Amino acid sequence: MNSRRIAAVLAAAAIAPAVLLSTPAVAAAKPAGTAQATEIADRHRTAGWHGPDVTVTGPATLTAGNWAELKLTVDNRQGETTQDFVTDLDITGLTAVKTGKVDLEYRTQDGTWDQALGTGRYFRLRWGTVKKGDTFTTGLRVRFAPHVSGPARIMTYGNSNGGTEFADHLYMFDVLPAGKQ
């Protein structure tokens, strides 16, 4: 684990008590505003990250056993052209996630769904070169095993050439047991 990921994990751990004490559905129902997105981008630039920023958005609650559609946005309007750019997604908060009880797919350019690289709680999407000024959004969908329920989160990391890496965004939501709406 490189120093940027360690720093991101430590920062997440520092805010975890406040996050756990808040209701994830309420937090997720309030999408990040422009000021917050700008603050995140500015913090990344100050920390030495010069690539795209990545965000995941979706509903405040998901139902286990069903596919839930999300959106992933790669925004490089303030970054530099980045070669071999990948997005790592870390799905945490649910014990069952650690045992491989989650599927994650992304929408390809031809409109079909394809399995993201990875299993368990860690997944990777490869983008190749992302030019300075580029921004794009693609569909994601996630499905948890029917018995899974509880608060969860997806943390995204931008990564270039297996080197520089930075946590970009935290999307929080609740997973309802199968059959609940």
Among the listed residues 145, 60, 24, 62, the one whose alpha carbon sits nearest the alpha carbon of residue 96: 145
Give the pLDDT confidence score for residue 52 in this predicted structure: 85
DSSP string, 67-95: -EEEEEEEE-SSS--EEEEEEEEEEES-G
Query: What token pair was written down for 48?
Result: 């030495």
Report the C-alpha gap between 24 and 19 in whole angstroms.
Answer: 8
Among the listed residues 98, 80, 77, 61, the one whose alpha carbon sits nearest the alpha carbon of residue 181: 61
pLDDT digits (tens, 9 = 90+) for 35-94: 444 555 555 555 555 678 889 999 999 999 999 999 999 998 888 888 888 888 988 776
Report the C-alpha gap between 59 and 174 in whole angstroms.
Answer: 9
Residue spans of alpha helices (H) in 22-63: 24-29, 34-46
DSSP string, 92-140: ES-GGGGGT-EEEEEE-TTS-EEEPEEETTEEEEEEEEE-TT-EEEEEE
DSSP helix/strand/coil, 138: strand
pLDDT digits (tens, 9 = 90+) for 93-104: 765 555 558 899
pTM of the predicted model as reported, rounded to 2 decimal places: 0.70
Query: What token pair was written down for 141?
Result: 């969908």
Residue for token digits 């990040």? Answer: 32
**Residue 11 CB neighbour total at 10 angstroms:** 12
Residue spans of alpha helices (H) in the chain: 3-21, 24-29, 34-46
Give the pLDDT confidence score for residue 4 in this predicted structure: 42
